[in-house]
Chain A
Amino acid sequence: MRCSPELLNAYVDGELDEPQRRLVEEHVRRCPRCSAEAAELRALKTVPAAAAAARAPLGPDEEPRRIAGIVGRVRFREAKRQRERTKKRFWQGAALGGAAAAVLVGAVVTSLTVFGPGTPFGAGGPDQDEQVYAAALQAVVAEHSRVALLMDMGVDDWADWPWLGWEDEP
């Protein structure tokens, strides 16, 4: 292989996969220039590391003060978010309550429109309404009598009789 400073850096950093590492190692062994370069790179890369280790620390109170500043802002945001969430829930509840009230009012208005005075049911006047009530009552009584008769006859499974016009329980 030819001299490659980039590969040499990666080799010194231990960042090559095994086949590449062997290749570069073999080259470094045979090439005096790359061998010297590798040694210098190894020494050079310890300089920033040593400087990092010697970094002047922040004063004893500085870091906690800065962290407290960040956390304080986060607390403020969190409290604001909670307030907004509560406000949102309130308005959601209010909207839901309003919708329920609207449905209820709609139901009342509809029932008054359908069954109230002046509606189709009451359109024929009190006399006609009375006739309708009487007819309905007669129908109920007739049905009751029919069932009573069947029971008197000792028919147990009368409920299954198709002519009765009753459907099975769903």
Chain B
Amino acid sequence: MRRSGGGERRAGGGRRPHQRIQSLIDRALTGDVRAFETLVTEHYGPVHAYAARMVGGQAAEDVAQDVFLRVYRSLHTFRGDASFTTWLFRITHNVCNDYRRRMQREPALRLDGPAPGDDTRSAGQALAAAGEGAGENPELRLESLELHETVQRALMKLSEKHRAVLVLHDMHGFRYDEIKHIVGCSLGTVRSRLHYARRALRQILEEELRGELASLLEERPGRQGAAGGPAPA
């Protein structure tokens, strides 16, 4: 099965055997905190990244913590009908929704400032924190960080429903049927939301990049081989 774009779905990048995760869950259920720690370590990055994209970077730490505490309390309800990652992201999605609702009720709790991920830092600060890309060309790295900031700003302008499906599909690499479980809607709705989300993103990026979007898209790998066939895996 093809995987679109996003490389943040699994922290280690590779496919983990289902049995291994199940064994960690079983051990965690008997009170083995080390097994739970392994689960957290392997999934913290993607969960935090999703939270940062949905509620902003400053709240992402709290949301990620809440997610894993909720996961710990609910581990016994994991039946394995969906993959652990899908189940985990469903919880993450719900915690993000709860957080947003709480913020609407109690705006005084809202954290100040724009919050595009831990990406609130400027590209320069982020680059410094990343150790200047360890051997990468710093200019290229800075350019991609700027792209990330631009996309992050654009994402924050999308409606929450559109942002969720776009982030889950294009950034985390989930399939439509997995997104359906995470977001809790029909397959047709996922399809429709993704279409509107991309259309809105395109419009926002055009405004953000002031006419540079066309040239940016020209450079993208998907542009080659225009006709026929779905996106390359």
Q: A-side interface residues toward B, CB under 8 Å? A: 5-16, 21, 25, 28-29, 35-36, 38-60, 62-63, 66-67, 69-71, 73-75, 77-78, 81-82
- A29 CA to B155 CA, complexed, in Å: 32
Inter-chain contacts of B68 with A (CB < 8 A): 70, 74
In-complex Cβ contact of A15 among B8, B31, B155, B175 (8 A)? B175
Residue ID in chain B nearest A11 by CB atoms: B230
Q: When the two chains form their complex, are residues B198 and A70 in contact, meaning their CB atoms are under 8 A apart?
A: no
B151 and A48 within 8 A (CB): yes
For B223, give its contact among A14, A39, A48, A56 (CB under 8 Å): A39
B26 within 8 A of A: no
- Do residues A69 and B65 form an inter-chain contact, with CB atoms below 8 A? yes
Q: Is the CB of B227 within 8 A of A35?
A: yes
Query: What is the size category of the interface that chain B forms with chain A?
Result: 35 or more
Complex interface: chain B residues within 8 A of A9 (CB): 191, 194-195, 198
Query: Inside 8 A of A57's CB, which chain B residues have their CB?
Result: 129-130
Asked if A52 meets B65 with Cβ closer than 8 Å, knowing A6-B191, A15-B176, the reply is no
* B6 lies within 8 A of A49 (CB): yes
| Docked pose: A8 CA to B195 CA in angstroms | 9
B183, CB-defined interface residue at 8 Å:
no
How far, in angstroms, from A41 to B69 measured CA to CA in the complex?
38
Residue pair A53, B65 in contact (C-beta under 8 Å): no
Neighbouring A residues of B117 by C-beta, 8 Å: 55-56
CA distance A35 to B226 in the complex (A): 7
| Secondary structure class of chain B's binding surface, majority of residues | helix
Residue among A28, A45, A60, A73 with max Cβ neighbours from chain B (10 Å): A45
The winner among A11, A55, A56, A63 for most chain B CB atoms within 10 A is: A56
A47, B147: Cβ atoms closer than 8 Å: yes
- Please give me the residue from chain B that is nearest to A14 by CB atom: B230
When the two chains form their complex, are residues A55 and B33 in contact, meaning their CB atoms are under 8 A apart? no
Complex partner residue of A74 from B72, B171, B202, B233, CB under 8 angstroms: B72
Binding site for A on B (CB under 8 A): 2, 4-8, 31, 33, 36-37, 40-41, 44-45, 48-49, 61, 64-65, 68-69, 72, 117-119, 121, 123, 126-127, 129-131, 141, 144-145, 147-148, 150-152, 155, 166-167, 169-172, 175-176, 191-192, 194-195, 198-199, 201-202, 205, 216-218, 220-223, 226-231, 233
Q: List 17 A-B contacts (CB under 8 A).
A: A6-B195, A9-B194, A11-B230, A13-B194, A38-B227, A40-B223, A42-B222, A43-B221, A46-B220, A47-B147, A48-B171, A49-B4, A56-B121, A56-B127, A60-B131, A70-B69, A74-B72
A46-B220, A49-B170 provided; 13 other pairs, C-beta below 8 A?
A9-B198, A36-B226, A43-B221, A43-B222, A44-B222, A46-B221, A46-B222, A50-B147, A51-B150, A51-B152, A52-B5, A52-B8, A70-B68
CA distance in complex: A157, B70 (Å): 76
Contacts of B118 in A (CB 8 A): 56, 58, 62
Interface of A is mostly: helix
A62 to B64, CA, bound (A): 13
Q: CB-nearest residue of chain A relative to B31?
A: A78
The 8 closest A-B pairs by CB, nearest first: A49-B5, A42-B222, A56-B126, A54-B144, A39-B226, A51-B151, A14-B230, A43-B220
Knowing A15-B175, A44-B202, A78-B33, say if A52 contacts B49 (CB, 8 Å): yes
With A45-B222, A53-B144: A74-B36 Cβ-Cβ less than 8 Å: yes
Shortest B230–chain A CB gap in Å is 4
Q: Are B2 and A14 in contact (CB under 8 A)?
A: yes
CB distance from A22 to the nearest CB of B (A): 11
**Residues of the A chain whose Cβ atoms lie less than 8 Å from the Cβ of B44:** 63, 66-67, 70
CB distance from A146 to the nearest CB of B (A): 67
